Amino acid sequence: MLIKSIYVISHPETKEIVYVGCTKNIDQRALVHENSISDLGNWIKNLIKLNLKPVYTIAEMAPEYGYSEIERKWILKYHQEGCKLFNKHIPGISRKHTRNFIIINSH
């Protein structure tokens, strides 16, 4: 059975969690985020300009089948704790998202 890592990205100084993701290869995924033309990618590029690097932390290991529910659990956990996440998609939940405003709709 293949295993995936549920991971969080946080600010190296404030420890603020800004993203929850899932991957088979955390190092490769970090490079994808860093080179991404997205809000998260821009956030990472701004950290790098300040000679800082985002912190990647494995939150949980998950089986390849069924990982989306585990990832969703972590996204909801941090959202409920007030983290302003860059995540644009939660498996099984449609939502509108900006970093300053999130509406979660379970329909």
How would you label 48-77 residue by residue, b for 16+ Cβ within 10 Å and e otherwise? eeeeeebebeebeebeeeebeebbbebbee
Neighbours of 1 (CB within 10 A): 5
Evaluate if pTM is beyond 0.85.
no
Local structure of residue 37 (DSSP, 8 states): S
The pLDDT tens digits for 27-53 are 999 999 999 999 999 999 999 999 999
The CATH homologous superfamily to which domain 3-105 belongs is GIY-YIG endonuclease (3.40.1440.10)
The pLDDT tens digits for 9-22 are 999 999 999 999 99
Enter the tokens of residue 34: 């860093």
* Mean pLDDT score of the chain: 84
% of the chain residues with pLDDT over 90: 64
pLDDT at 101: 40
The pLDDT tens digits for 65-103 are 889 889 999 999 998 898 989 997 655 444 444 344 443
